[in-house]
Structure 1
Amino acid sequence: MQHNRIHRDSGESRVAIVTGAGSGIGRATALRLAADGYRVTLAGRRESALKETAGLISGSGALVAICDVTDIDSVQAMVSATMQTFGRIDVVVNNAGISRSGVFPAVSVSEWREVMAADVESVVLVTQAVLPFLMEHRGNVVNVASVAGLGGDRGMTIYNTAKGAVVNLTRSLAVEFAAQGVRVNAVAPSLTSTDATADIPPEDVAEFLRRIPMGRAAEPAEVADVIAFLAGSDARFVTGVVLPVDGGLRAGSGQPPHR
């Protein structure tokens, strides 16, 4: 029997855009992709944080792009700068987003629109802007969803809805663009040790950890490793997947333990 030789893509000469690259999962992803040989556009609003990330990447493999991912003109300028600097785009990691909590009757229209713009519309704008370049190189998209997008939680209606939209957007785009050679996947992290979760009350963290079978929060690099897998050639026949990175949280049925 004849076997086809598989050529592993080290990432060398490939180009990735990572939104929200100034900290947390975005920074860890940018560093992981750079270590794999990608040239990386670091997109976000905070110039100082993006420059800190760039300083951790050796050589000239990083482009700092100040970008408001909820603004189409800003997104197009970021994509244009990437093409001018690197000449191609192979991977987009839609990581930027925000979270808001609160009981549903108290949710304001402005809060709703703010979260939807940052968490959903940003993914639409960035993905639309890069699709022609991804199709040229059979590239792919990795969205950062959340386990909050796979179910409902008390007091998290806006975030649950936004990340649920990212989950189904991922699946829809995967189906629509598979024939063009563009893969679209997502990761769904649970509690992760980042600046964004640093202000969670200790009692809430303890409840989180009680529910996670592995008994701890994820490190940003652990989520980044899964993103790198989905972005790389080892996942070349994987599309439309929303992969939990949750320490086993979704494996449970929610029932209390039996002694």
Structure 2
Amino acid sequence: MSSRLQDKVVLVTGSCTGIGKAIAQRCVAEGARVVIHGLEKDLGEALVAELGKDRAVLHIEDLTAEGSSERLVQLAVSTFGKLDAVVNNAAMVSASNIHTTDLAFFRRMLEVNTLAPFSLIKAALPELRKVRGAVLNIGSVNAWSGEPNLFPYSVSKGALMTLTRNLGDTLMREDGVRVNQINPGWVLTENEAQRKREHGLADDWYTQVPKVYAPAGRILWPAEIAAAVVYWLADESGPISGQVVDLEQHPFIGRNPPKDATTIPTPAK
């Protein structure tokens, strides 16, 4: 068995499903112990059973609840004795544009996607400082601009990107803690499949994605994102901090799709 994360303790938010679940599975495969977090208790319990109760522990709670960050950190320390890394993966993904977005919705999006990661980093910092640990924020390629109907989501991920760069510098200098970010492109998660079904697409829609959106003929798998995560959590990434890396199969900025490109529902993490 590989051991790139041997004996590390990793907290992964939003890890009952999708990308977060794949990250937790890969971390354990690489020798880590993990704190699973999410809102789906049954799915979380199934994942803990799969990974083993000696390798995983579950916490079900809305990240915006008062004190949730502190409770997650305490669970990691009380269960496994330390905390080496935090993966801020949990996110609210919901389509809306300037016309359908009100302030309450926008605030909720920022609370979940930007302020909750900040809160967790702050709560975890005393533990991460002890081990010169790492933070990896999971953003989105939509952070660079985003589609019109992903307006608040895109803004929240753009703010997360600035948070990563700012703290990646500050915390490395002051605490020896690295903060980096990956921006996944279009990933075939359970939630993404469900959203596309709700948009009226057939169950096998992902086999017919136009090549302008997926040059490889398919979109990304959660396991492929998880594979990239390991590098940023492992000691092999050394002192690298404050970096944002896009994980997509085409250049996202400056790309010029053909004018006759087929339009399909907007991709989102």
Give the TM-score normalised by structure 1: 0.90
Matches within 5 A, 1:16-55: 16-55=10-49
Matches within 5 A, 1:90-101: 90-101=84-95
* Contact 1:67/1:78 (<8 A) preserved: no
Q: Secondary structure at the match of 1:163?
A: helix
Code of the aligned partner of 1:195? E
| One of 185, 190, 196 as aligned partner of 1:195 | 190
- Cα deviations by residue, 1:72-112 (Å, 9 ceiling, x for unpaired): 31221121121111111001000001112122122122211
Where does structure 1 differ by over 4 angstroms across 4 or more consecutive aligned residues?
A: 203-209
Code of the aligned partner of 2:103? V
The answer to whether the aligner puts 1:221 opposite 2:216 as a matched pair is no
Q: Residues 55, 9 of structure 1: CA spacing in aligned structure 2 closer, same or farther, 3 A cutoff?
A: closer
The answer to whether the aligner puts 1:234 opposite 2:228 as a matched pair is no
* Contact 1:213/1:249 (<8 A) preserved: no
> Match of 2:214?
212
> Match of 1:5?
none
Displacement of 1:153 = 1.8
- Cα deviations by residue, 1:171-216 (Å, 9 ceiling, x for unpaired): 0110101122111111101111112211223499666752233232
> Match of 2:81?
87
Matches within 5 A, 1:169-184: 169-179=163-173, 180-184=175-179
Q: Which moved more, 1:77-86 or 1:134-143?
A: 77-86
* Contact 1:211/1:249 (<8 A) preserved: no
> Match of 1:114?
108
Q: Provide the C-alpha distance between the structure 2 equivalents of 1:123 and 1:99, rounded to a whole number of angstroms.
A: 15
The answer to whether the aligner puts 1:186 opposite 2:155 as a matched pair is no
Identical aligned residues as a percent: 27
Code of the aligned partner of 2:28? A
Code of the aligned partner of 1:193? L
Give the TM-score normalised by structure 2: 0.87
Code of the aligned partner of 1:140? A
Q: Which moved more, 1:134-143 or 1:196-205?
A: 196-205
Q: Provide the C-alpha distance between the structure 2 equivalents of 1:15 and 1:152, rounded to a whole number of angstroms.
A: 34
Code of the aligned partner of 2:190? D
Q: Provide the C-alpha distance between the structure 2 equivalents of 1:177 and 1:49, rounded to a whole number of angstroms.
A: 34
Q: Secondary structure at the match of 1:224?
A: helix
